[in-house]
Amino acid sequence: MAKVETWRRRIRPVLSVFYGLAGVLHLALPKPFLSITPSWVPYPEAVILLTGLCEITGALGLFFPALRKSAAIGLALYAVCVFPANIKHALDSLGAADHSAWAWGYHVPRLALQPFLVWLALFAGGVLLWPFQNRR
């Protein structure tokens, strides 16, 4: 179990930096995020602002033991909620007549790794232990 806690301690700052930077980018440069927001999302500017604040809040929350599990659950839910924007971004990019081969190399792994980001937040925040629990 000590190894699991070591990994959690290592993952938390990396995840915090990742989400913190993404949150700052949402606030400082909202235009690229607005362009991938699905048309059915109401008040897209407010949603982009809110998502940036959620990322920053979750990133900070991972550092505080009393907030860690809530922050982890929030970041996992966030990763699920933004998945439609990631799909739209991939479809727009890969459907463009002038898309490059690099687009496939970016979008396919990004979409495939989204469930891993959900798991990573939950694991780093101590919400779940899977797949490291003891086997009988």
Contacts of 132 (CB under 8 A, 6+ apart): 4
Element (DSSP H or E) covering residue 73: helix 68-81
pLDDT above 90 (res 62): yes
Q: What is the mean pLDDT of residues 64-92?
A: 93
Q: Is the dihedral of CA 31, 32, 38, 41 positive or negative?
A: negative
* C-alpha 45 chain-centroid distance: 19
Question: Is the residue at 98 inside a domain?
Answer: no
* pLDDT at position 72: 97
Split into its structural domains, the chain has a count of 1
> CA-CA distance, 112 to 26, in Å (whole number)?
22
**Where is pLDDT greater, at 135 or 93?**
93
Question: Is the residue at 131 inside a domain?
Answer: no
* pLDDT at position 59: 97
pLDDT above 50 (res 136): no
pLDDT above 90 (res 48): yes
Q: Using DSSP, state whether 103 is helix, strand or coil.
A: helix
Q: What is the mean pLDDT of residues 9-36?
A: 95
Question: Is the residue at 33 inside a domain?
Answer: yes
Residue ranges making up the domain that contains 72: 2-82+117-124
> What number of other Cβ atoms are within 10 A of residue 113's Cβ?
13
**Where is pLDDT greater, at 90 or 103?**
90
